[in-house]
Amino acid sequence: MFNIKPMAGALGAELHGVNLCENLSVETYAEIRRLLIQHQVIFFRDQDISPQQHKALAESFGPVQTHPAYETVPDFPEITVLESTADKPSKIEVWHSDMTYRKHPPLGSVLRSKICPPQGGDTMWSSMTAAYDGLSTSMQLYLSSLEAEHDFSYGFKESLAEPGGQERLAQAVKDNPPVTHPVIRVHPESDKKVIFVNALFTTKIINLPAKESEAILNFLYQHVVTPEYTCRFHWEPNSIAIWDNRSTQHKPINDYFPAHRLLERVAIDGDKPYLSWLRNFKIHLMTRVSSGLVFRDSQAFRYFFSPNISLRILSRSFAYLISNSMWP
């Protein structure tokens, strides 16, 4: 159905052989979604779609969101305008996932280019599944026990500091109080684990001293942008990128000032990030079983009988171990 050109080892693919201006079949939309989950970010060239078609493409993945701070296309509040000019250059300089300050961050985004600088202005993406897989088992287990705070005000602190910024964004601040997400989340479609903190919106790890929280977050921010986890896309007019916001971070390369760059984005509504306590318990327990440490390790013993572990979780975990011949 598509001619697929992988972009890099960890993520990214250009798809050719489809015209997004046409009425696409249910099967075509399903294949686009499958390829998005597989490659995490997919790209199309020479797609001169209308705002209606842009919105419809995003809605093929689910309901769409609006943004509380950015300008939008007239008559299309769902289409956010991302524009950088000599008088008003882009403020986004860091790697991030979109709108993680929400209880239900976006599933993904559909971004189209309208005006591109003569050179520069690329965007990079990084795979959070590859970043998670690149951690040691011990670090994976530790991070899976943590939660982090994400805050709209932190991400838009520069805009809030501008003259009139607090007044302009007062309602957005009120509507978006800080939220808590797991540091490691499970992707609801691929079932893979991903790192889910980012330098733009994550403020701290819950229940850790400030220095420890800062040290862990700084380590993760550096780790997730390891070059082997990334791909880079060069924009041309009418290019389209669709990325999975649950499993990637991205960063615009602001190397084109004072040139003009204009893109338009629709964000797709997502679900609440989670990491199953049962899944986390299985990993922890199986690791100790494989090491021969169950019941001979006081930490494992305390974990077994912690009041925070419900009988339901315990019984399911015992059943899982027995059914999979994991019991020592």
Helix H or strand E encompassing 311: helix 311-323
CA distance 96 to 220: 12
Instruction: Give 216-265 as a DSSP string.
Output: HHHHHHHHTT-GGGEEEE---TT-EEEEETTTEEEEE----TTS-EEEEE
Residue tagged active-site, from 261, 265, 284, 288: 265
Strands 147-150 and 248-252: unpaired
Active site residue 150: no
Residue tagged active-site, from 102, 250, 284, 288: 250
Active site residue 265: yes
What percent of the chain is helix, strand and coil (3-state, nearest 5)?
A: 30, 25, 45
Q: In the chain, count of helices (H) and strands (E)? A: 12, 17
Tokens 């795979």 belong to residue? 127
Active site residue 234: no
Tokens 């090491």 belong to residue? 291
Alpha-carbon torsion 70, 75, 78, 83, what sign?
A: negative
Cα dihedral 270, 271, 274, 276, rounded to 10, equals: -130
CA distance 34 to 26: 12
Q: Residue 87: count other Cβ atoms within 10 Å of its Cβ.
A: 6
Q: Give the ranges where 250-310 is alpha helix by DSSP (H).
A: 277-290, 298-304
Would you call 16 helix, strand, or coil by DSSP? Answer: strand
Active site residue 96: yes
Residue tagged active-site, from 39, 54, 98, 187: 98
List, by residue number, the catalytic residues: 96, 98, 250, 265
